[in-house]
Structures are given as C-alpha cells and as structure tokens.
Chains A and B, each alone.
Chain A
Amino acid sequence: MALNVEQSGNSMILSLGPQHPSTHGVLQVLTQIEGETIVRADPEIGYLHTGIEKSAENLFWTQASTVIERMDYLSPLTNALCYILAVEKLLGVTDRIPERAQQLRVMLSELSRIASHCVWLGTGGIDLGAISPFFYAFDLRENILDLFEVSGGARMHPNYLRIGGLREDIPQGFLDRLDELIAKFPGRMRDLRKLLQNNPILQDRMVDVAILEPADALAWNITGPSLRASGIAYDVRKAYPYSGYEQYDFDVPTRTEGDAYARFLVRLDEMEQAMRIVEQARRKLVGGSVMIDDTKIAPPPKETIALSMEALIHHFKLVSESFRVPPGDVYQAVEGPRGELGYYLVSNGDNRPWRVRTRPPSMYNLQVLKKLAIGELIADMVVCIGSLDPVFGEVDR
C-alpha cells in the first residue's frame, strides 16, 4: 500500500496487523525485512478514527468532556482533567476551584495512571509470553476501577470531573476502600516486580532492544515515561504544575539506558510514585465543597430543584444552553500516563468550543517506531510497540 520499495533479492514485505494481538489496538505496521532484520517500518494508523475533535466542536463546553474521555480509554480521567483545566483557564476560574475538588482530581488522576500502567504491564507481559503477571496487574486495576465506579458511577468512563470541580462528593465508604487499596498496593507491586523485573527471559527480550537516544527522543517529540527512560527528566507535573501538584512530594523516575527495559522500569517506578501522591492526597484531604461557588458554571444542588423555581430555571438554562466562554485560545498540558497530554482550545465566545485540538502523546510516541524498529529483529517489533505503550483511541481520535 504505502510502502513503495524496490524488491531487492532478500527483502520481503510483511504486514503486521491491523488485527494482531500484540499491536495493542488496530495498528498496521508495514515492515520490510531482510532475513529477520527489519530494514524499514511504516506504521499505518487511522483505523480507529472517530472524529472526536469534530464531535467536541459540536457539543456544549460541558458535554464535550464526555467524548473527550473516550480518547485515551485507559485513563479517561486524565483526558477529562486536561480539557476541563483548559476550559477553566479560559473562564478565568482556575484559582477558584475548591481545594477538596483539586485534591480529589489529583488523587483520581494518579489512580488512573496506575490503572493505565497496569494494562500496559499486563499486556506487555503477554506480548512476551508471560501470562500470569496479567492477572496480578488486572486485579490491581480492578480495585481502582471499583473506586471509579463508586465515585463516578462507571468503571471505564466515569465522567466524574466537571468544569468547576466534580460532579458530586465522593460517597461514604470511598475512603475506606481507598485505604484498603493503599494497604494492598506495596505487596502487589512486590509480586509484580518479582514476576517480571528480574525475570531472565524478560530481560533477554528487553535489555538493549529498541534504544532511544535522548537527542532522538527530543527530535521525535517523545514525552512521558519513554522520554524519561532516555534520561530527560521532563514531567509536566514538575515543570508546569497544575491542580496543586507543587504541594505533593514525589520523584520523577528516570533511567539513562533508553532501551525497552529502561522504559519498563521507569513505568514500574512511576506506579509507586503515583501511589505516593495518592497517599498524600488522602492524608491531606480537606472538607468542604467540591464544586465552584459560581452559579454561572455550577448547576444548583439537586435537592433544591424540586423546591425552588429559580433553581429549576437555573438548572434548565445550564442544561439546555450551557454557559458561554469568553473568546480566546489556550493551551493546557497535563502529564498523562503516556506523556504530555495537551489541549489547544479556541473559543469564539459561544457555548460550544470553536476548536478542540488534542496533543496526543500516543501518536507522537508511536511515530518513532519508524526509527526505533530499524535494525531490530522482527520478533522485537512487539517489544518496540509494547514499550511505547500507545492507546489507539488517542492515536486516531
């Protein structure tokens, strides 16, 4: 299709995907191989393109976060958080978000980072033939999804964050279950590390495979754990703190090797750091409201709607025509599980966004496959893809 090459004597073209268990979604990689060595790789994306940006432009500011959560379906909260922070910046209400809402946002987005890394860890293990870690990782993920379910009502796409705060306060029992998870986590991480980290088979497959030099990582626009595994400690949470991240004490794990194993270790360390932040947020959690005190943005409390006509009208206005956002453009970035997730929003003063542009970390991270896979063995292609951790909902949007 796209790979126009002159067939030389020994080379052969192999299409990996789009339906292949270790492409982590619908990715097709047209590879040219000589013997077992990859001499050219051309990823074809777009199989999952659903026009989310276009849809978001046709929805109210409040509704758009629902479709935006569907982009990175492994950590939907992070997407919603980034979009909502951008809208709040445009509205000029960033400083007025209640402390409790901010702490819960941090807590939930770190939990979704762990949940997302659990999928990467489990499926990455399966790629290399390690089946059992998958169950350990998904069991941990299940506990986190349970927490999303009690707080937001849904496991995958809770749609719990709102412009101005959270939809509602966390229910009773949430913190107890969180404490159970916090207590369980270190043991589970030990198990996972024991199963994988020093596993000689895994090391054989990952060490010195798909090395990404720091200069290349920058030129190819790699962010997140993959960049930090190449020795560059760029983390949006430290560089441009949002939602009060500057108040939390955490490290940015880095490695210098830049190979698949380094990316693996950085993500494992990151899970532990994420849990550190969750614990701190749990300890610091203050009381109070979880929604901004601004009737232009926040809907009236549910219980007042049946009693007061004004509240009913207010609610009706917000639901039927939402609110207007002052004109302007803004770029907001957060540190997603895959790297810098950014939203560039343009408002023309209407109740719908004029433009929602995503900076999809997965897409840019995946693009480097064109360079990374060259010279590797065809069997290592799955390691290359797995170590970059792409999510195709976000690559294709």
Chain B
Amino acid sequence: MPSPQAPPLGNRAVDPTAVRPPLDDATIERIEPAQLHARLAALRADGFTVLLDLGAVDYLDRRPRFDVIYHLLKLPLDATTPQKAGRPPRMRLLCGVDEGVKLQTATDLWPSADWAEREVFDLFGIIFEGHPDLRRIQMPNDWEGYPLRKDYPLRGPALEKTPRPEFALKSNLVAGTPASGKTAAALAKQIAKARGQSGA
C-alpha cells in the first residue's frame, strides 16, 4: 500500500531520459543490462578511474521498472595540480532493470562499488551477480521489503520487529509513575501488549 503522503502514482512516473533538458556536464548513455559490464570495463580501461556513485531510481509503472545509475569520473593519476586536473569528464550510465533481472557486479572494476551495490540491493532489491558479500547494509539483516521502492509505505511496517528485552520492560514498570492509577494501568496494559508480541 503506498502511503497517503506519497506522490500520485500511475502514469505520472515519467522517464526523465525522454524529457531531460540539456542541464548537465556529463555525457549520458543508456545501456542494456547485458552490455553493462563490458561497457563499464571499456570505460575503466579508457581512463574512467573513479566510480563516483552508484544509485537507483524506482519508476514503478514504467517497463523496465528501475534505473541503476552509474556516475563515472575520468580523473588521471597525474592530476597533481588543479590546472592538470582541469574539468575531468563525467559520464552517466543509466541501466534499465526490471524486477528479477540481475546485474553483473562492478566490484571487480572499482572496489568502491561494494557498499554502493549493497545499498542498492538493500533499499531497492536489485541483485548484483558476482558481488562478494551482497547483504543488507543500512537496514537490519532480518528486514523485510525494500524501503526505497515506491510501493513501500513511508512509515514502514506497523509493528516494531525488535523485541524489547525483559529487563527493559520491568524497569519501565518500576520507573513509571504508578501512583495515579490511570497511568499505571495504561502502562501495565502497554507492557502486557509488548510482552505478548515479544513472546510470540
């Protein structure tokens, strides 16, 4: 269920590559998942030494649903002064990925892709084949769902999954304000409820 605060869905999720105004310094290229790794390797060999960023966008109703975006920077090793560095060329690769399609990892080309790919996996559920250690990075390991997908609600699951330890519940009971019956009753009720959940 999309959250009520989410932007309107449906056909409004446009593909920006179709309408993009000429805004950027970067060279922009769209690429198919099958050719992605070969193209990245070619660019790496061509002197794109830095994989500046790797992110994803969920277009929800579009096919393919996701875009994975690679920002590359051609920064030579001998750029020892700002003059020598100049304006290093930027490159942006957009790769459309549908649900269930796996991408090949870029960690063999740039080690920095490691955490970036883990984050895309964690928050969008896109799988990178050949990644040495593809597991959640921001969310807890037992989290369900992919929070940055557009159909994931803003507030997340209604119940907190992490059970509170027993002593924390007990200390609440003692440290609360039991004298006025109302608060104590409410507190006891809350604790009983929490216990019921944590015991389940």
A interface residue numbers (CB < 8 A to B): 2, 45-46, 49, 51, 53-55, 57-58, 89-90, 92, 214-215, 218-221, 231-235, 238-240, 252, 254, 256, 326-331, 340, 342, 344, 346-350, 352, 354-355, 357, 359, 363-364, 367-368, 371, 396-397
A46 proximity list for chain B (CB < 8 A): 136-140
Q: Is B63 an interface residue (CB 8 A)?
A: no
Within the complex, the shortest CB–CB distance from B176 to chain A, in Å, comes to 26
A45, A239, A252: which contacts B87 (Cβ < 8 A)?
A239
In the complex, A329→B139 CA distance in Å? Answer: 27
Within the complex, the shortest CB–CB distance from B168 to chain A, in Å, comes to 17
* B contact residues, total (Cβ < 8 Å): 59
B25, B52, B152: which contacts A359 (Cβ < 8 A)?
B52
Given known A-B contacts A219-B110, A344-B71, A348-B13, A55 and B82 have beta carbons under 8 A apart: no
Given known A-B contacts A49-B138, A219-B49, A349-B14, A232 and B77 have beta carbons under 8 A apart: yes
B51 proximity list for chain A (CB < 8 A): 221
B26 proximity list for chain A (CB < 8 A): 331
B77 adjacent to A359 (CB under 8 Å):
no
A348 adjacent to B12 (CB under 8 Å):
yes
A232 adjacent to B75 (CB under 8 Å):
yes
Closest to A330 in B: B23
A359 adjacent to B71 (CB under 8 Å):
yes
Q: 10 interchain pairs (CB within 8 A)? A: A58-B6, A92-B21, A239-B87, A239-B88, A240-B87, A327-B19, A331-B26, A359-B52, A359-B55, A371-B111
A232 adjacent to B71 (CB under 8 Å):
no
Closest to B152 in A: A54
B23 proximity list for chain A (CB < 8 A): 89-90, 92, 328, 330
B147 proximity list for chain A (CB < 8 A): 51, 54
A355 adjacent to B57 (CB under 8 Å):
yes
Within the complex, the shortest CB–CB distance from B116 to chain A, in Å, comes to 8
A90, A233, A371: which contacts B81 (Cβ < 8 A)?
A233
Q: Is B184 an interface residue (CB 8 A)?
A: no
Q: Is B86 an interface residue (CB 8 A)?
A: yes
A49 adjacent to B77 (CB under 8 Å):
no
B6, B12, B16: which contacts A328 (Cβ < 8 A)?
B16
A232 proximity list for chain B (CB < 8 A): 75, 77, 79-80, 85
Give the top 4 A-B pairs by smallest Cβ distance, nearest first: A221-B112, A329-B16, A357-B55, A359-B53
Given known A-B contacts A221-B50, A327-B14, A214 and B77 have beta carbons under 8 A apart: yes
A346 proximity list for chain B (CB < 8 A): 16, 57
B20 adjacent to A354 (CB under 8 Å):
no
Closest to A350 in B: B7
In the complex, A234→B80 CA distance in Å? Answer: 8
Within the complex, the shortest CB–CB distance from B67 to chain A, in Å, comes to 9
Beyond A45-B115, A232-B77, A254-B80, 12 additional pairs, beta carbon < 8 A: A46-B140, A54-B154, A219-B110, A233-B85, A238-B82, A252-B82, A331-B26, A349-B12, A350-B7, A357-B55, A359-B55, A367-B114
* Chain B 11-47: CB-based contact to A (< 8 A → 1; otherwise 0): 0111011011101111000000000000000000000
Within the complex, the shortest CB–CB distance from B173 to chain A, in Å, comes to 26
B16 adjacent to A327 (CB under 8 Å):
yes
In the complex, A184→B23 CA distance in Å? Answer: 42
Within the complex, the shortest CB–CB distance from B70 to chain A, in Å, comes to 11
* Chain B 71-112: CB-based contact to A (< 8 A → 1; otherwise 0): 100010101111011111010100000000000000000111
Given known A-B contacts A328-B21, A350-B7, A352-B7, A367 and B112 have beta carbons under 8 A apart: yes
Closest to B19 in A: A327
In the complex, A267→B77 CA distance in Å? Answer: 21
A368 proximity list for chain B (CB < 8 A): 112
A347 adjacent to B53 (CB under 8 Å):
no
B115 proximity list for chain A (CB < 8 A): 45, 363-364, 367
B21 adjacent to A326 (CB under 8 Å):
yes
Most buried by B among A218, A220, A350, A367: A218
Most buried by B among A239, A252, A340, A396: A239
Q: Is B181 an interface residue (CB 8 A)?
A: no
A45, A92, A231, A344: which contacts B69 (Cβ < 8 A)?
A344
A327 proximity list for chain B (CB < 8 A): 14, 16, 19
Given known A-B contacts A344-B71, A359-B53, A45 and B137 have beta carbons under 8 A apart: yes
B80 adjacent to A221 (CB under 8 Å):
no
Within the complex, the shortest CB–CB distance from B107 to chain A, in Å, comes to 11
A53, A219, A240, A329: which contacts B148 (Cβ < 8 A)?
A53
In the complex, A347→B152 CA distance in Å? Answer: 19
Within the complex, the shortest CB–CB distance from B17 to chain A, in Å, comes to 7
A90 proximity list for chain B (CB < 8 A): 23
Given known A-B contacts A2-B135, A331-B24, A357 and B69 have beta carbons under 8 A apart: yes
In the complex, A89→B20 CA distance in Å? Answer: 12
In the complex, A171→B171 CA distance in Å? Answer: 50
B5, B71, B111: which contacts A219 (Cβ < 8 A)?
B111
Closest to B11 in A: A348
